[in-house]
Amino acid sequence: MWTVRRSATGTTCFSRWVLRLAGTTVEVEVETPGIPVRRVPVRLAKMPNLDTLLTIASVRPAPVRGLRVDYASVQLAAPAGKQGVMAPGVVVKEIVPNSPAAKADLQPFRDVITHVNGKEVMTPDEFYEAAGTVTGPLTLRLHERAETVTVP
């Protein structure tokens, strides 16, 4: 259980930090002066270091048709990203030059994929699982453009 305490001056502190992975839902206990304590479910997000935009991965997945994705929350900190708005799905993180994904005109840190061949994807693992099993064209539904893109 995490606890958020808000003082009369608006400052916030967290106690009882627990290590959890992005995408995990945790329950947060919110304490505000004059308001009864309430428990709120919170889905954790992944944020890179804002100074370097560096994210560290112990296992970097192989690109799928020249495409690597990450949690949509990293889009919030990217220079080209949408500040303050987290879309559902996974953000396009990297495009290998001259790959099928590059030819499909996908844009890193701008395009968010919500579906792979009609199957909803909310985490990188779900994306790689869904996309890795497709033998024909890969149909990706994009959040912001409200369109589908086919990657041969």
Same domain? For 132 and 86 the reply is yes
Kindly state whether residue 50 falls inside one of the protein's structural domains: no
Give the model confidence (pLDDT) of 67-87 as tens digits.
Answer: 999 887 766 655 554 555 567
60 occurs within a structural domain = no
| Pick from 4-8, 42-46, 59-63, 130-134: least confident | 4-8
Q: Is 84 helix (H, G, I), strand (E, B) or coil?
A: coil
The percent of residues in the chain predicted with pLDDT above 90, rounded, is 26
User: Could you tell me the CATH number of the domain that includes residue 124?
Assistant: 2.30.42.10
pLDDT digits (tens, 9 = 90+) for 28-58: 777 777 788 888 887 776 655 555 555 555 5
Does residue 116 form part of some domain?
A: yes
Residues 16 and 81 occupy one common structural domain:
no
φ, ψ for residue 73, nearest 5 deg: -65, -25
Domain membership of residue 134 (yes or no) is yes
CA distances from 136 to 46, 88, 147, 150, 152 (A): 31, 25, 19, 10, 7
Range of the structural domain that residue 11 is part of = 2-43
Q: Are residues 140 and 92 in the same domain?
A: yes
What predicted TM-score, i.e. pTM, was given to this entire model? Answer: 0.64
Considering its fold, how many domains does the chain have in total?
A: 2
